[in-house]
Amino acid sequence: MTTAAARRRAVPAAAGALLALLAGCGTFNAPPPSHGVAMPAGYTQTPAGRPTLLAADWWQGFGSGELAALIAAALEGSPDLAIAIRRIEQAEAQARVAGAPLFPVLNLNAGSSRAESRAAGASRTATGDASSLSLSASYEIDFWEKNASGARAALSSLAASRFDGETARLTLVSGVANAYFQVLSVRDRLRLARDNIAIAERVLAVVGSRLKFGNASGLDLNRQQTTVLTQRAAVPPLQLQERQSLAALAILLGRAPQGFNIAANSITALGVPVASPGLPSDLLLRRPDLASAEAQLAAANANIGAARAALLPSIQLTGSAGVATSALLSLANPARSLSLGTSLLQPIFNAGRLQAQVDISASRQGELVETYRRAILAALADVENSLAAAGRSAEQEALQQQVRDGARRSLQLAELRYKAGSDDLLTVLDAQRTLFSAQDQAAQVLLTRLQASVALYKALGGGWRNPAVSAQAPP
């Protein structure tokens, strides 16, 4: 084989090797690192009662049509949800901006001008007319996927914004349910406070009757009057709390608090559903906040690729075509032009700025890995704590109802014995205080149980599932 023939064979081989090398270097987007959390096989706590499957409209399990209507109104008019939607729109626009460098840039330029000049001492004015029309195009070959990496980062940020919107939606629904329960609980406590006033006044009448016949002292009368006043003093704070709870609920719905009200008056008619927690690993698909953290990690990973690609040469293709004449506002008999060009830009010295950008992106990715890991651990703790709260609150409610019923019987017996003269008023006063406290505590325990049920649904993602993962799952 001659030297010339060997050279001819070597050129294509070298070119192929160079292309293979460049193709291998043409991407810097490795898969994002793992969160590194060993997901447990199950939860320590088990749900009390008969758990129900997660559904997107999980609030229907409480059996309140009014609550469902309030949640629907909140999803339509909440300012918080509207803010989240605007942020998604901004992320969509930013994704379009980031994807624009992947396409050529075309510019149309048209112009016409007239220039006049007169030399010193000359009597005539020289004029010059010109008109032109040109079309120019430029395109950066994204050989190292710098622009593609930026677009991927923007799309991942867009996904994170959408997941944040789902988190805002879940938070809003949970907030409406809790505020609704709070209003009903306060109304129950108000009704109990008024009932307690009636009980105290009834005992006061008995004391007054015994005082007439000399079977009670003025001290007994004063003590019972103090009990009546104490119960009356408990009403205004509860009325204020009701008004404040209604105002908080109105704000969640995007309405003015003035004149806002709800129809229901008692929390006791509501059901208390308990969600089936499933497996801990399901949280990665169920919770939008975890999906957002994962999407942010993917965006940071793509930004590393873009920062590394900025260290390498960039190739720019340019072209332009146009016509020009020496006439004003006319393209008659034009002179035509056409130009094509390419340029190669290789950063040589920038005082370490580009490498610092790579370091910043890599550190940001490491930060988001830890953020993602912390979010997963917090989610596991949320579910575990919510399961424990749901179970313990159910037990506490059953016990508190027994305490309340026992206190009611004790007061009845104490009143009978006091009327018969077998016991003094102190026994009745003690039985009253015990009953009043037990009734109020029972109402608050029921509220705690309902809020624990809401917290469990929220901790499990409220029936939401990652649409990207669900679309890839087999039927």
Tell me how far apart the alpha carbons of residues 416 and 380 are, in angstroms, rounded to a whole number.
54
The answer to whether the CB of 340 falls within 8 A of the CB of 318 is yes
Q: What is the pLDDT of residue 292?
A: 95
pLDDT bin (cut points 50, 70, 90) of residue 49 is low
Could you tell me if residue 120 is inside a domain?
Answer: no
Tell me how far apart the alpha carbons of residues 100 and 97 are, in angstroms, rounded to a whole number.
5
Domain residue limits at 164: 38-100+144-311+353-472
Q: Is residue 215 scored above 50 in pLDDT?
A: yes
Render pLDDT for 72-85 as a digit per residue (tens, 0 to 9). Answer: 999 999 999 999 99
Q: Is residue 27 scored above 80 in pLDDT?
A: no
Render pLDDT for 438-462 as a digit per residue (tens, 0 to 9). Answer: 999 999 999 999 999 999 999 999 9
Per-residue pLDDT averaged across 114-123, rounded? 74
Render pLDDT for 262-315 as a digit per residue (tens, 0 to 9). Answer: 999 999 999 998 888 989 999 999 999 999 999 999 999 999 999 998 888 999
Could you tell me if residue 134 is inside a domain?
Answer: no
CA dihedral angle for residue 39, residue 45, residue 47, residue 52, rounded to 10 degrees: 0
Q: What is the pLDDT of residue 470?
A: 54
Nearest Cα residue to 270 out of 68, 75, 441, 458 = 68
The answer to whether the CB of 432 falls within 8 A of the CB of 201 is no
Q: Is residue 46 scored above 60 in pLDDT?
A: yes
Angle formed at CA 431 by CA 426 and CA 434, multiple of 5 degrees: 125
Render pLDDT for 124-160 as a digit per residue (tens, 0 to 9). Answer: 776 778 889 999 999 999 888 989 999 999 999 999 9
Roughly what angle, to the nearest 10 degrees, separates helices 146-212 and 79-99? 170
Higher per-residue confidence, 27 vs 206: 206
Q: Work out how many domains the chain is built from and give that number.
A: 1
pLDDT bin (cut points 50, 70, 90) of residue 25 is very low
Render pLDDT for 370-406 as a digit per residue (tens, 0 to 9). Answer: 999 999 999 999 999 999 998 898 889 999 999 999 9
Q: What is the pLDDT of residue 328?
A: 78
Tell me how far apart the alpha carbons of residues 180 and 237 are, in angstroms, rounded to a whole number.
18
Q: What is the pLDDT of residue 48?
A: 67
Render pLDDT for 351-360 as a digit per residue (tens, 0 to 9). Answer: 999 999 999 9
The CATH number of residue 186's host domain is: 1.20.1600.10
Q: What percent of the chain has pLDDT over 90?
A: 66
pTM of the model: 0.84
Could you tell me if residue 211 is inside a domain?
Answer: yes
Could you tell me if residue 332 is inside a domain?
Answer: no
Could you tell me if residue 110 is inside a domain?
Answer: no
Render pLDDT for 409-430 as a digit per residue (tens, 0 to 9). Answer: 999 999 899 888 888 888 999 9
Could you tell me if residue 329 is inside a domain?
Answer: no
Q: Is residue 204 scored above 90 in pLDDT?
A: yes
Name the average pLDDT for the chain. Answer: 88
Could you tell me if residue 130 is inside a domain?
Answer: no
Could you tell me if residue 16 is inside a domain?
Answer: no
